[in-house]
Structure 1
C-alpha cells in the first residue's frame, strides 16, 4: 500500500478554508442576534412615533392640503384644501373654520358635526398631505413663496431663494410665524427650523 503525503501548500489551503468557514459561521450568528434582538428596529420605531407626534400637534392653516378619512364613508373621505381664509368645506358638514386648530382638535370637531345627526360613532382620521408654503422677502435673489420641506432651516430657505444679495445682512432673519395670530416679528438665527406659513425677511445692511 502506498501512502501519499500532501504538500505543505495544500495543507495550508485546507487550514485557510477551515478558518473561513468558522468566520462565516460566527458572522451569521452575530447577524441573527442583531436582526432578532428587541432593539434592532428601535430607531425606525422612534422616527415613526416622532413623525406621528409632530403631525398630531401641528397647527393647521390656510394652504394646507389634508386627507380626511372617515371609516366606512368613502363619499365623505378625501383630500381637502384649507382656503385662504382658513376654512374647510366638506359634504354634509359644510364650512368649518379650521385655522389655528391642531389635527386632533379638527378630528374631534368633525366627529361632533357628524354625530348623531348623520353618523353614529364616526371614526375620523386626518393626515397632512402637503404643508402650506413659506414666504421669503427682502435681500435674497428670488423673493417669493416656496414649498415647505420638513426639517429645513432658515439658511436652507435663503439658499432655495437663490442666496443673499450683496446688500444682505447675514447671520439672522426676521420671521412672522404662520400660526401667530398677533403677527409679531421675531428674530431667529439661521440654523433654526422653518415652519409652514412662515414669513421670512432678510434685512439690508447699511455699511
Structure 2
C-alpha cells in the first residue's frame, strides 16, 4: 500500500498531466485553419470544382470552331436531331441539309441558319436548339509541368489553365503568357496577363525567366 506521502507526490503530477491535455485544443487552434476532413474539398480544389459546374452550352456568344461537339435538336423530328462534330473544314453533315457551315457562328446564329435551311421546303415552322457538348481543347507548351492538350472550361483564366496542367516549372516566367489564337491564320503570338480568359483552341506558351 502506498504511503500518504507518495500519494501526495503523485497528485501534482497527475494534475499537471490533465492540464496539458486540456490545453491541446487551444494549441491546435493557434496553428491556423484545420486540414480538410474526409469528404471536404480543399479551397483550391473547390475553385476548380466550381469551374466544372458551369454548363457547357450556356455561353451564347461562343464562336464555334473545328473540333467542337454540338447537339442539334429539331423539335418533333428525332431523325434530324443528333450530335455532330465540326470537321476540319468548319462544317458538319446534317440530314436533308447536307454540309452545314458552322465555324465562326455562335449557337444562336447556327440555329437561325438551320431554320432557314429547313423551311419551307422541308418543315413549315421548324424549331431548332443548339447546345455545345464539348469545347475544343486548349494547348500548353513551355515552362509548365505538363504540356499538351487540355479540356477547356468556360470562364477559366490562363492562371487556372496552367494550374489544371500541374502548374509552372521552376524556370517559368509567371506574370504573363504568349498566346496564338485558334482563328489567327498568321500564327502570331500575343502577350497576355494571367488574368485574361482562355479561348478554346488557344496555343499557350509559358516563357522561361531570365534569372
For 2:181, the equivalent position in structure 1 comes to: 177
The one-character-per-residue Cα deviations of 1:7-58 (angstroms, maximum 9, x if unpaired) are xxxxxxxxxxxxxxxxxxxxxxxxxxxxxxxxxxxxxxxxxxxx79962211
Question: Is 1:69 aligned to 2:64, yes or no?
Answer: no
The one-character-per-residue Cα deviations of 1:153-185 (angstroms, maximum 9, x if unpaired) are 111111122222222222100112234455442
Rounded to whole Å, the distance in 1 between the matches of 2:202 and 2:157 is 11
Equivalences, count:
158
1:146 pairs with one of 143, 150, 156: 150
For 1:120, the equivalent position in structure 2 comes to: 124
Name the SS for the 2:126 alignment partner: coil
Kept in 1: contact 2:115–2:128 (CA 8 A): yes
* Greater Cα shift, 124-133 or 53-62: 53-62
Kept in 1: contact 2:143–2:169 (CA 8 A): yes
For 2:165, the equivalent position in structure 1 comes to: 161
Rounded to whole Å, the distance in 2 between the matches of 1:52 and 1:144 is 22
Q: Which runs of 4+ in 1 moved over 6 A?
A: none
Name the SS for the 2:112 alignment partner: helix
Kept in 1: contact 2:177–2:206 (CA 8 A): yes
Rounded to whole Å, the distance in 1 between the matches of 2:57 and 2:165 is 30
Kept in 2: contact 1:177–1:199 (CA 8 A): yes
Give RMSD over aligned pairs: 2.3
Question: Is 1:95 aligned to 2:96, yes or no?
Answer: no
Rounded to whole Å, the distance in 2 between the matches of 1:59 and 1:180 is 14
What are the ranges of 5 or more consecutive residues in structure 2 without an aligned counterpart?
A: 1-54
Kept in 2: contact 1:67–1:127 (CA 8 A): yes
1:148 CA displacement: 0.8
Taking structure 1 as the reference length, the TM-score comes to 0.69
1:114 CA displacement: 1.4
1:113 CA displacement: 1.6
Question: Is 1:79 aligned to 2:83, yes or no?
Answer: yes
Gap change, CA 1:125 and 1:87, over 3 Å in 2: same
